[in-house]
Amino acid sequence: MSVLVVVECDKGEVKKSSLEVASYGAQVAQALGTTATAIAVGEASEASLASLGEQGISKVLYDNEARLKEFVNGAYTKLIAAAAEQEQAQVIVLANSNIGTSVGSRLAVRLQASLATNVVELPRVEGGNFIVKRGAYSGKAFSDVVLLNDRKIIAVKKNSIEALHNAGQTAQVQSFSAQLADTDFADAPKQVIMQEQTGGVPLPEADKVVSGGRGMKGPENWHLIEDLAKALGAATACSKPVSDVDWRPHHEHVGQTGITVSPNLYIACGISGAIQHLAGVNSSKVIVVINKDPEAPFFKAADYGIVGDVFDVLPKLTQAVKELG
């Protein structure tokens, strides 16, 4: 079985989630006694693609068609399918992202492949069965899934595997063309309104997140969240009620109906912990809750809790982080 890894790129760089996916694919390839090839999508630089060798990728295919710099479902599906056919890939690995889940289902139909999303561990083979473990019910449970078809597609959940870093290793970057036609871009949006984030860390890719709720009492106090986030090198986020009243933009809303995050550290400030919010953050490795209400539901899900007023705690915590350096 050869392994094909789908690598998402943005502004010339490989996304962090795709570094994890590349490492996952390389380890799958090693277990199967083969090599891992990547197909890059989005805007990438040759240097960033070559650096995927550090994650164990031997070769990277890249189609420099200008229209592929932005996500187009049909075109991306045809591109990845063409790469899979050329490389005779039996296992395709991608991120459990908006792009990955959208393309994954189409690929499964086109390639007649088994598809498993939200995968959290490397696969195992038992009794001839190819088995993967995936999260279910917003991370509250796990299930083992047997992928029966000859071709298998695995969408890996962010932060579920450590990215490898074999310094000095480089991948061979090769030009690739899927011979895309205008019809392959038929589902491209006719008009794109971009709201580009300026400064800070993009929320979906963040290792650390500082989030605020109604306990912040108003947008004029949000500098306390931003100060701590800046000191930590973290992204900022908010609860749904905060975005609903326009204290913060909707692209910062974390929860079941917003963005789902899986950072190493999630700090919740003045958030009570409604079930819908927990569904979007419960995959975080460490959750810290700051709330003056000792009965706040969020404390039940927290690894660490501080019972106190956010207006007293946050400045002291920010200062402590700065002193540590």
Tell me if 253 is assigned to a ligand binding site: no
Residue 200, pLDDT > 80, answer no
Mean pLDDT of the chain: 92
Which tokens in the block code for residue 319? 């200062």
Tell me if 277 is assigned to a ligand binding site: yes
Q: What is the pTM of this model?
A: 0.84
Tell me if 110 is assigned to a ligand binding site: no
Model confidence band, residue 93 (pLDDT cutoffs 50, 70, 90): very high
With pLDDT > 70 as the criterion, what percentage of the chain qualifies? 96
Tell me if 272 is assigned to a ligand binding site: yes
Model confidence band, residue 195 (pLDDT cutoffs 50, 70, 90): low
Model confidence band, residue 139 (pLDDT cutoffs 50, 70, 90): confident
Which tokens in the block code for residue 194? 């971009």
Give backbone dihedrals phi and psi of 223, rounded to 5 degrees, phi first.
-60, -25
CB 89 within 8 A of CB 83: yes
Tell me if 88 is assigned to a ligand binding site: no
What's the residue count for the chain?
325
Tell me if 104 is assigned to a ligand binding site: no
Tell me if 273 is assigned to a ligand binding site: yes
Tell me if 99 is assigned to a ligand binding site: no
Tell me if 129 is assigned to a ligand binding site: no
Distance of CA 160 to the CA centre of its chain: 10
Residue 162, pLDDT > 80, answer yes
With pLDDT > 90 as the criterion, what percentage of the chain qualifies? 82
Model confidence band, residue 197 (pLDDT cutoffs 50, 70, 90): low
The C-alpha R_g of the chain, in whole angstroms, comes to: 21
pLDDT for 220 equals: 96
pLDDT tens-digit readout, 231-276: 999 999 999 999 999 999 999 999 988 998 989 999 999 999 999 9
Tell me if 308 is assigned to a ligand binding site: no
Give me the domains of the chain, ranges plus CATH numbers: 2-185 (3.40.50.620), 203-324 (3.40.50.1220)
